[in-house]
Amino acid sequence: MTNKLTIPTSLMNIINIVKEKFPKDEKLLAMFEQCFINTYETTLKSQEDGTTFVITGDIPAMWLRDSAAQVRPYLIAAEEDPVIADMIKGVITRQFQYINQDPYANAFNESANGQGYQTDDTDMSPIVWERKYEIDSLCYPIQLAYLFWKATGRTDHLDQSFKDALGKILHVWKVEQNHENESPYSFERDDWRYYDTLTRAGKGSETGKTGMTWSGFRPSDDSCLYGYLVPANMFAVVALKYAAEISRDVLADTVIQTQCEQLAAEINEGIERFGVFEHPIFGNIYAYEVDGLGKYNLMDDANVPSLLSMPYLGYCDYDQETYKNTRNFILSRENPYYYEGKKARGIGSPHTPGQYVWHIALSIQGMSATSEKEKQRILETLKTTDGGTGFMHEGFHADNPERFTREWFSWSNSMFSEYVLSLCGVAVKGTPLYNRLNLK
């Protein structure tokens, strides 16, 4: 399933930028080169139809979320390298082909081979590896399509398949604003962990209408405690604004543009009305999940979209008051998934054992930090918690980084690469990070 490829000059040029910035840091240079080229060398597979299949690393399926995040740093090279650009275009095209087949699925097979979780009680098909419905699985392909347009100026990926898929996404998100009464989706898995299935015969916990759109699962692939996953809704607002701009400037379709703008406004109003909690210590903060009936889940999870990642994704500014309050909360012991140990401190996940900090969350913390001191501390933590492998992992024990989950986790390697590049003043065009670095 993996390819060993000659590394293009465009990628080597990016590696050289890091060498120029950190000429004496041999450990960082070796880690960056290894992590940066990992996705290119090991996870990409060209298809006969010109699309690109992307495995997550140690799982032979293509997640819509992971595949977008894995190739995102290569958009920097795509600005000048048409071969890299074609590869990313192939990823985007394949993502929207998958969405057109099933907008509720999160991971897909290379072909309709029936692999994956075919025994789940949901509307499975042979092309689907897993059908856990996650809002972010639909946000990431829109984000990648938008950023590819901004990086390359190309619009050939914004074709009829993209437009059809966008229509399906809008339909699903509007239906799931009233999950209780309108949704056709349910999901149950037998004989697995409790967070691999949904309660109430696959419907999930009860929700009231808020304007937000419902999600069955988090970006960790764990089930939501409450159905309105606030950071995923925030990402949906960003993605809808991207889609509205594409509809206006590329598709010349004011009907879809208006639909995107209206839905973004409805979801955003729901976030600000139902997703904010007045904390006795930190003031107004965003909840991680709510049910629209008065229940709040106050936490953050390492997987992106997270509350920590909101300025990185573009929902709010880095200095927005509610975000700053939320950041203070989730980087404290008040967050049940914030861990401190002898070697690291940071955000983990209920997806992994207690005291396991995630490299993805550390990279996001670095890219959302406003002080150089915090950025450098995060960089040192990343360098010293690779477990002697030179790679980033999923979670690692805060006392002993040699204890980690997922030796081969391409998403985490790409997030680390993006963070290091940001310290060099380099970012993907069109992103909030690019704008923050004042790149022209």
What is the sign, positive or negative, of the torsion defined by CA atoms of 414, 437, 145, 186?
Answer: positive
Token pair of 220 as six digits: 């960790």
Max intra-chain CA distance, the chain: 61
C-alpha Rg value of the chain to the nearest Å: 20
CA distance 307 to 229: 10
pLDDT of residue 377: 98
pLDDT of residue 440: 42
- Asked if 221 and 248 touch (Cβ cutoff 8 Å), the reply is no
pLDDT of residue 2: 41
- Per-residue b/e over 266-279, b at no fewer than 16 CB within 10 Å? bbbebbeebbbbeb
pLDDT digits (tens, 9 = 90+) for 148-162: 999 999 999 999 999
Q: Which residues make beta-bridge pairs with 84?
A: none
> Is this prediction's pTM over 0.95?
yes
Long-range pairs of 189-194 with CB within 8 A, sequence gap ≥ 24: 189/117, 189/119, 189/120, 189/121, 190/119, 190/121, 194/223
CA distance 147 to 72: 9
3-class secondary structure, 276: strand
In this structure, the number of other CB atoms found within 10 A of the CB of residue 25 comes to 15
- Domain spans of the chain? 9-434
pLDDT of residue 58: 83
Cβ partners under 8 Å of residue 155, min gap 6: 149, 250
Alpha carbon separation from 159 to 129, 151, 219, 285 (Å, rounded): 26, 18, 27, 40
Q: Beta strand pairing status for 345-347 and 289-290? A: unpaired
| N residues, the chain | 440
pLDDT digits (tens, 9 = 90+) for 319-335: 999 999 999 999 999 99
Q: Residue 296: which H helix or E strand, with range?
A: strand 296-297
- pLDDT less than 70: residues of the chain: 1-5, 439-440
Chain position carrying tokens 């930090």: 369
Third-level CATH fold of 9-434: Glycosyltransferase (1.50.10)
Half-sphere exposure in the Cβ direction for 321 (13 Å, CA): 6
The alpha carbon of residue 113 and the mean position of all alpha carbons in its chain are separated, in whole angstroms, by 26
3-class secondary structure, 346: strand
